[in-house]
Amino acid sequence: MSSLAPTKRERPVNTLPSRTGLAAWFGPLLSSTVGSKYLVALTGIVLTGFVLVHMAGNLQVFAGAKAINDYAQMLKHNPLILWGARIFLLAMLLLHLYKALTLKQRSIAARPVGYAYDNTARASLASRTMVITGAVILVFLIFHIAHYTLGLVHTANGVNYLNLHDPDYAGDPARHDVYHMVIAGFTTPWIAVLYLLAQVPLFMHLRHGVGSLFQTLGLNTPRSSRAVRALAWVVAIAVCGGNALIVLGVWAGVVH
């Protein structure tokens, strides 16, 4: 009986690939299921680090107008770093999304007909809805960029908040009053509620995703499993709690 698989004589083991360059090594690896899982984990680490830093930077709103506005101005005065980071994060996001969808598609293709009895008692809701929560986060991210970065939502349009409140930087027409942009945005009820609701899928995605990346990288061992679960909870609570705290701070009048 003939076989479609190459024999050892046709393709000897432990030999260099016929092509040269890194692509010959990494191409097949990164396109494999194992390689795709590693890419999802590594890009997930980058994106998790970003949401932590982003949240921490935004918490400066509690330090007053000058603190958050100086922070925003520092970023704006370093366009090479700012745009380099934006392009890098966009690439990480697209790669994370593409590989996650690829893995999901392969999983469905491997079992086109579902189980007669779906016994998923041990699978958490967060683990079963990772693609859904990821899609919701992506939609909210687009809105968030349109809201604060592009100023397409009128209540947070930076053009309406130039040098109107803080005398420390009055006279600089290029400097936006980010502090009062935040207040204007979150004193609009539907926007504030939308931001709070967005923390739910983000929390679920982070809580399961952080644990999963440790599992993929082989770091979630029986000895470390409790610490990994605790870290996942801490990261999810820190990010989503910090984001929600800004909205609630505006509501409560702490940020005014």
Is 3 among the domain residues? Answer: no
Name which of 2-16, 80-94, 160-174, 212-226 the model is least confident about: 160-174
Q: pLDDT (tens digit, 9 = 90+) per residue, 85-107?
A: 989 999 999 999 998 888 888 87
Name which of 175-184, 198-207, 226-235 the model is least confident about: 175-184
* 200 pLDDT above the threshold of 90: yes
Could you tell me the residue range of the domain that residue 141 belongs to?
A: 33-106+128-252
Tell the residue number behind the tokens 């009986």, with chain if given: 1
Q: pLDDT (tens digit, 9 = 90+) per residue, 48-84?
A: 999 999 999 999 999 988 888 888 888 888 888 888 9
Is 25 among the domain residues? Answer: no
The domain total for the chain is 1
* 7 pLDDT above the threshold of 80: no
> Residue 241 — very low, low, confident or very high, per pLDDT cuts 50/70/90?
very high
Most confident of 32-46, 59-73, 125-139, 190-204: 190-204
Is 14 among the domain residues? Answer: no
Say how many C-beta atoms besides its own lie within 10 A of residue 234's C-beta.
12
Is 40 among the domain residues? Answer: yes
Is 8 among the domain residues? Answer: no
Is 28 among the domain residues? Answer: no
Is 26 among the domain residues? Answer: no
Of 168 and 127, the one with more pLDDT: 127
Which pLDDT belongs to residue 172? 54
* 171 pLDDT above the threshold of 60: no
> Residue 149 — very low, low, confident or very high, per pLDDT cuts 50/70/90?
confident
Is 44 among the domain residues? Answer: yes
Query: pLDDT averaged over the chain?
Result: 80
Instruction: Report which residue type is found at 80.
Output: L
Is 243 in contact with 53 (CB distance < 8 Å)? no
Which pLDDT belongs to residue 113? 59
Cα 250 from Cα 182, distance rounded (Å):
8
